[in-house]
Structure 1
Amino acid sequence: MFKKILIANRGEIACRVIKTARRMGIATVAVYSDADRNALHVRMADEAVHIGPAPANQSYIVIDRIMEAIRQTGAEAVHPGYGFLSENMKFAQALEAEGVAFIGPPATAIEAMGDKITSKKLAAEAGVSTVPGYMGLIPDADEAVRISGQIGYPVMIKASAGGGGKGMRIAWNDDEAREGFDSSRNEAASSFGDDRIFIEKFVTQPRHIEIQVLADQHGNTVYLHERECSIQRRNQKVIEEAPSPFLDPATRRAMGEQACALARAVGYTSAGTVEFIVDGNRNFYFLEMNTRLQVEHPVTELITGIDLVEQMIRVAAGQPLPFAQQDLKINGWAIESRLYAEDPYRNFLPSIGRLTRYRPPIEEATEARVVRNDTGVYEGGEISMYYDPMIAKLCTWAPDRKAAITAMREALDGFEVEGIGHNLPFLSAVMDHPRFAAGDITTAFIAEEYPEGFQGVTLPDDLLRRVAAAAVAMHRVAEIRRARISGRMDNHERHVGTDWVVSLQGQAFPVTIAADRDGATVRFADAALRVESDWTPGQPLARLSVDGQAVVMKVGKIPSGFLLRLRGAELKVHVRTPRAAELAQLMPEKLPPDTSKFLLCPMPGLVVKINVAEGDEVQEGQALATVEAMKMENILRATRKGVVARINAAPGASLKVDDVIMEFA
């Protein structure tokens, strides 16, 4: 077994590999760029080597810099994680030439499967069902439009060397094909150093289901069942689960056997994933093979009990798999929610900055549930604009799907993140969505259910009442504390009122509260709810029992009440005396400023392109500018007809949120 391995990656996956290596007694080496000098993976590793400036193309994907770090530290093997050099054939060859083990597949398998065009041809030759498309390289946008017309819209434009949703666009007409080709090629060149593009038919109403395979150097190949990855945004997976709520045993076996056959055909070893698109009749079509560890591998580990990173290390060391296909059973259900540094209220645009508060839920592992959080950040750390916006992967396991969803709801409500925009509210909203609960999902789920973007959640009346009861009980505790601190009263509790009006989500609830030693009873006009909690003022997380049901809320203070966040909703909750509530109804509402005459930068990023000039007349929907953040291009469009009066930013400019890019007459 290896004594020292280098992790050629960063963030949560580097931390994940370090944890397993440490458990196996293997020393680890981290590499880091200027931006990651104080990163968590650097702190966790036994050694760390600086490899260059912040941009990945000057550090993490520069093979020579990684090779020098290997020589400097004497590492015997390299785990590439995912992204960066994980599917780079030249990197695997360089390691082989140096006599260093690659904890991944052979370079020949990377070459065969890592290129999406080649892999589809090989899959077809192996008898695997593939999606119709054009597998040749496409030189320019005009050819992309012609080919798209031949295949028939809608089509998927994809980077041949792509992954992680980068370099992918769906086109429904010629204009979108032309625009999508240019954007995909630019993203592919920026992220992978390879701008080759291909086009295939986009299957409508599809499910994205993938098979995890694992193979050793002794001819043993197995599949570790499937993962459902259909909850996607911009072709980037957001929520995954294992197993899929859609597959039956026969389809699962057929997909698994095809995945293994494909792996054997290319001499594959190590962990890999064969991705399929599955239609409503359970017909499945090969999409691609990822010749690396997947982001969502934890859900497979949770339902099989197998540490995939450990098996990758053992396979690279020449050891055989310690199990056969018949040993791999499905135990329970697992769900993964990807926590991203992105603002769901701004169409999920990236957010960067300092994590002023980062408190994940406590990890646990019992027979009833598992809570696991794979992360690469810490409180006080910076979220950089140079890399993927992922903060953490929150996973839960339970004996069945319903219990796993319940565990995820509670874990999300207990996850504290402040200082940046993040998608926790959206993740919570999906967990409560009836379609998700029923397993009725496709890759179009987000587009169909949130066509105008995510605007927050409206809580149902029964939960709203529980929140109101919790808020008035918390307000009573805060009032007693204020009276005690001020020294105005001897018997503080006696002088705190019992009649209140709780206003939230456009509703007002007159209530009466009666407290005792163990809690309080909150009476509404037609019901009474019992509230029990040990919350004290100033705590940012409140855990309460309301009418026998757990309520977990993130708590902020506002005048005459609280800012409460739970289950995807952000509520301004006011607790007032009846007279104060009456007067509050007379207060005018402050309107937001009119920004319709400005094109504002929606996220921190770099201006890539300005499409118009001062004096140009623009139409609704016309592309005005392109801004890049975290290696994703975002095209900003006109929301109405107008004339460009002034342009305030040029290509290459670095902008903050709400910086004015251009003004309209």
Structure 2
Amino acid sequence: MFKKILIANRGEIACRVIRTARAMGIGTVAIYSDADRNALHVEMADEAVHVGPAPANQSYIVIDNVLRAIRDSGAEAVHPGYGFLSENPKFAAALEEEGVAFIGPPKGAIEAMGDKITSKKLAKEAGVNTVPGVMGLIEDAEEAVRIASEIGYPVMLKASAGGGGKGMRIAWDDEEAREGFQSSKNEAASSFGDDRIFIEKFVTQPRHIEIQVLCDQHGNGIYLGERECSIQRRNQKVIEEAPSPFLDAETRERMGEQAVVLAKAVGYTSAGTVEFIVDGDKNFYFLEMNTRLQVEHPVTELITGVDLVEQMIRVANGEPLTLHQEDVELNGWAIESRLYAEDPYRNFLPSIGRLTRYRPPQEAVTETAIVRNDTGVFEGGEISMYYDPMIAKLCTWAPSRSEAIEGMRVALDAFELEGIGHNLPFLSAVMDHPRFVSGDITTAFIGEEYPEGFAGAELEHTRLRKVAAAVAAMNRVAEIRRTRISGRMDNHERKVGTDWVVTAQGARFDVTIDADREGATVHFADGSIHRVASDWLPGQPLARLDVDGEPLVLKVGRITGGYRIRTRGADLRVHVHAPRQAELAALMPEKQAADTSKMLLCPMPGLIVKIDVEPGQEVQEGQPLCTVEAMKMENILRAERRAVVSKINAGPGDSLAVDDVIMEFE
């Protein structure tokens, strides 16, 4: 077995590989850029080697820099993680020349399957159904428009060397095809060093289901079930689960067998994933093969008990698989939520900054529940603009899908994250969405259910009442604390009232609190009662309560006259007043937001790539105004209405913060 391996990656996947290597007794070497000097993966590894400046194209994906780190450290093998050099055949070839093992597939398999155009041709030759499209590379935007028109809109423009949603655009007409081609090309060049683009038909209402395969160097290959990855935004997966709520055993077997046949046909070894689009009749079509470990691999590990990273290391060491297909059993249900540094209230635009608070739910393993959190960050660390915005992958397992969903709900509510914009509220909202709960999902789910973006969830009335009862009981505890530390000499004579008015989400609840040593009974004016128990103390940002025998987890912040409460995707301002205070509070005017309707504000920290207009120019609704790049993604900002540009405050190359004024209008 290898004595030392180098992880040619960063963030949570580097930490993930280090954990398994450490359990196997293998030494680890991390690589890092200027931006990652104090990163978690650097701290976790036994050794660390600097590979260059912050931009990935000057550090992590510079093959010579990584090879230098291998030589300096004496590593015998390299695990590439995902992204970066993981599917680069030149890197695999360079390692072979160095006599260093690549913990991944052979160079030929990467070339055959890593290139989406070649892989589709090979899949078709192997008898696997493929999505209609043009396999040839597209030279320019006008050719893209011509081909898209021939295939028929909508079409998908894809980077041939792409992955992770980078370099992908959906076009519904000629103009979008023209714009999408250039943006995809730019993103592909920036992320992968390869700007080749191809086009295929975009299949509406599809499910994205993928098969995990594992092959060794001795001709053995198995599949480890499937993962449902249909909850996607901008072609990037957000929530994954295993198994799929849609497949039956027969379809699973047919997909698995085809995936293994395809892998063997190209001499594939190591862990890999064959991705399919599946329609409503369970017809499946080959999309691509990812010749690497997938981001969502934990859900497969949780339902099979197989450590995929360990298997990859053993295969690279020349060991045969000890698992046979008949040994693979799918046990229970697992769900993964990807926590991203992006602001759901700003159309999911990237967010950067310092993690002023980072407290994931405690990882735990029992016979009936598992909570797992794969992460590469820590409290006080920085989220950089140079890399992918993923913060963590929160996973839950349970014997059934409904139990796994409930476990995820509680885990998301208990995840404390402050300092940056993040998608925790959105993930929580999806877990409660009736379509997701029923399993009636497609890759169009987010676009269909949140067409105007995400503005926060609203709690249904029953849950809102429980929150009101909980906050009333918490406020009583806070009032008792306040009377004891106020400094008054007659504290022993002061009493905390029992009658309160709780307002939240436009509703008013008049309550009376009857407290005892075990908790509080909260009586509502309509005669209903809720029993609240908790050990919460004022100042604690997380409250774990029991309301009527059921768990309720609240993130708690203090505001004037009440609390900011976050739970199940809702962000509530809950006010608690004595009856007379409530009468007076109802008379207070609401603060009006500043008028920014005549300004284009930068929606995220980023770099201005291009300005498309000039002062004095009249623009129409939907017209591109400028392009901002952040976290390897290009974002085109468009006019919301007809206007005339009066002033431009930024130009190409300028780095802007959130809400910096890019341009103004008359």
Tell me the TM-score normalised to structure 2 length.
0.99
Equivalents in 2 of 1:24, 1:339: separation in Å?
A: 28
Q: Deviations over 1:402-442 (max 9, x none)?
A: 00000000000000000000000000000000000000000
Superposition deviation, residue 548 in structure 1: 1.2
Which residue matches 2:609?
608
Which residue matches 1:163?
163
Q: Secondary structure at the match of 1:285?
A: strand
Equivalents in 1 of 2:374, 2:634: separation in Å?
A: 27
Which residue matches 2:594?
593
Question: CA 1:579 to 1:147, structure 2 compared with 1: closer, same or farther past 3 Å?
Answer: same
Superposition deviation, residue 492 in structure 1: 5.2
Moved over 4 A (4+): 489-494
Equivalents in 2 of 1:493, 1:181: separation in Å?
A: 74
Which residue matches 1:636?
637
Paired AA for residue 593 in structure 1:
A
Equivalents in 1 of 2:229, 2:384: separation in Å?
A: 26
Paired AA for residue 349 in structure 1:
L
Which residue matches 1:63?
63
Superposition deviation, residue 490 in structure 1: 5.4
Superposed, 1:167-206 pairs within 5 Å as 167-206=167-206
Which residue matches 2:214?
214
Which residue matches 1:551?
552
CA contact (8 A) 2:206 2:278 kept: yes
Check if 1:269 corresponds to 2:269: yes
CA contact (8 A) 2:483 2:491 kept: no
Q: Deviations over 1:546-598 (max 9, x none)?
A: 11111100100001111010000010010001111111111111111111100
Paired AA for residue 556 in structure 1:
G
Equivalents in 2 of 1:39, 1:79: separation in Å?
A: 18
Paired AA for residue 117 in structure 2:
I
Q: Deviations over 1:213-240 (max 9, x none)?
A: 0000011000001000000000000000
Superposed, 1:25-36 pairs within 5 Å as 25-36=25-36
Check if 1:105 corresponds to 2:105: yes
Which residue matches 1:72?
72
Superposition deviation, residue 487 in structure 1: 3.8
Which residue matches 1:326?
326
Equivalents in 2 of 1:487, 1:604: separation in Å?
A: 46
Check if 1:21 corresponds to 2:24: no
Paired AA for residue 372 in structure 1:
R
Equivalents in 2 of 1:326, 1:605: separation in Å?
A: 51
Which residue matches 2:292?
292
Superposition deviation, residue 159 in structure 1: 0.4
Equivalents in 2 of 1:536, 1:492: separation in Å?
A: 20
Q: Deviations over 1:2-59 (max 9, x none)?
A: 0000000000000000000000000000000000000000000000000000000000
Check if 1:433 corresponds to 2:437: no
Equivalents in 1 of 2:263, 2:372: separation in Å?
A: 30
Paired AA for residue 217 in structure 1:
Q
Superposition deviation, residue 486 in structure 1: 1.6
Paired AA for residue 147 in structure 1:
I
Aligned-CA RMSD value: 0.8
Equivalents in 2 of 1:420, 1:135: separation in Å?
A: 41
CA contact (8 A) 1:601 1:656 kept: yes
Paired AA for residue 557 in structure 2:
G
Which residue matches 1:563?
564
Which residue matches 1:479?
479
Superposed, 1:223-622 pairs within 5 Å as 223-488=223-488, 495-525=495-525, 526-622=527-623
Equivalents in 2 of 1:68, 1:362: separation in Å?
A: 38
Question: CA 1:493 to 1:282, structure 2 compared with 1: closer, same or farther past 3 Å?
Answer: farther
Which residue matches 1:4?
4
Paired AA for residue 144 in structure 1:
A
Question: CA 1:250 to 1:492, structure 2 compared with 1: closer, same or farther past 3 Å?
Answer: farther
Equivalents in 1 of 2:172, 2:254: separation in Å?
A: 32
Q: Identity over the aligned pairs, expressed in percent?
A: 80
Check if 1:623 corresponds to 2:628: no
CA contact (8 A) 1:483 1:489 kept: no
Which residue matches 1:54?
54
CA contact (8 A) 2:483 2:494 kept: no
Equivalents in 2 of 1:309, 1:25: separation in Å?
A: 14
Which residue matches 2:138?
138
Equivalents in 1 of 2:492, 2:657: separation in Å?
A: 48
Equivalents in 2 of 1:84, 1:401: separation in Å?
A: 34
Out of 584-593 and 395-404, give the one that drifted further. 584-593
Equivalents in 1 of 2:493, 2:29: separation in Å?
A: 59
Superposition deviation, residue 493 in structure 1: 8.8
Which residue matches 2:654?
653
Paired AA for residue 73 in structure 1:
S
Which consecutive unaligned segments of at least 5 residues does structure 1 have? Answer: none
Superposition deviation, residue 494 in structure 1: 6.2
Superposition deviation, residue 488 in structure 1: 2.7
Paired AA for residue 396 in structure 1:
T
Q: Deviations over 1:162-190 (max 9, x none)?
A: 00000001111111111111110010011
Equivalents in 2 of 1:593, 1:111: separation in Å?
A: 54
Q: Deviations over 1:512-538 (max 9, x none)?
A: 001111111110022011110000001
CA contact (8 A) 1:120 1:287 kept: yes
CA contact (8 A) 1:480 1:493 kept: no
CA contact (8 A) 1:117 1:135 kept: yes
Equivalents in 2 of 1:13, 1:493: separation in Å?
A: 59
Which consecutive unaligned segments of at least 5 residues does structure 2 have? Answer: none
CA contact (8 A) 2:115 2:161 kept: yes
Q: Secondary structure at the match of 1:237?
A: strand
Equivalents in 1 of 2:580, 2:359: separation in Å?
A: 39
Equivalents in 1 of 2:555, 2:283: separation in Å?
A: 44
Equivalents in 2 of 1:595, 1:35: separation in Å?
A: 34
Equivalents in 2 of 1:560, 1:601: separation in Å?
A: 33
CA contact (8 A) 2:183 2:634 kept: yes
Equivalents in 2 of 1:615, 1:154: separation in Å?
A: 35
Which residue matches 2:41?
41
CA contact (8 A) 1:8 1:78 kept: yes
Q: Secondary structure at the match of 2:204?
A: coil
CA contact (8 A) 1:480 1:492 kept: no
CA contact (8 A) 1:362 1:371 kept: yes
Paired AA for residue 495 in structure 1:
K
CA contact (8 A) 2:276 2:284 kept: yes
Superposition deviation, residue 73 in structure 1: 0.6
Q: Deviations over 1:454-499 (max 9, x none)?
A: 0101101111011001111111111111111124365659600011
Question: CA 1:490 to 1:167, structure 2 compared with 1: closer, same or farther past 3 Å?
Answer: same
Paired AA for residue 561 in structure 1:
G
Q: Secondary structure at the match of 1:495?
A: coil
CA contact (8 A) 1:521 1:530 kept: yes
Paired AA for residue 472 in structure 1:
A
Paired AA for residue 98 in structure 1:
E
Equivalents in 2 of 1:580, 1:209: separation in Å?
A: 55
Tell me the TM-score normalised to structure 1 length.
0.99
Out of 47-56 and 522-531, give the one that drifted further. 522-531
CA contact (8 A) 2:15 2:40 kept: yes
Equivalents in 1 of 2:489, 2:558: separation in Å?
A: 24
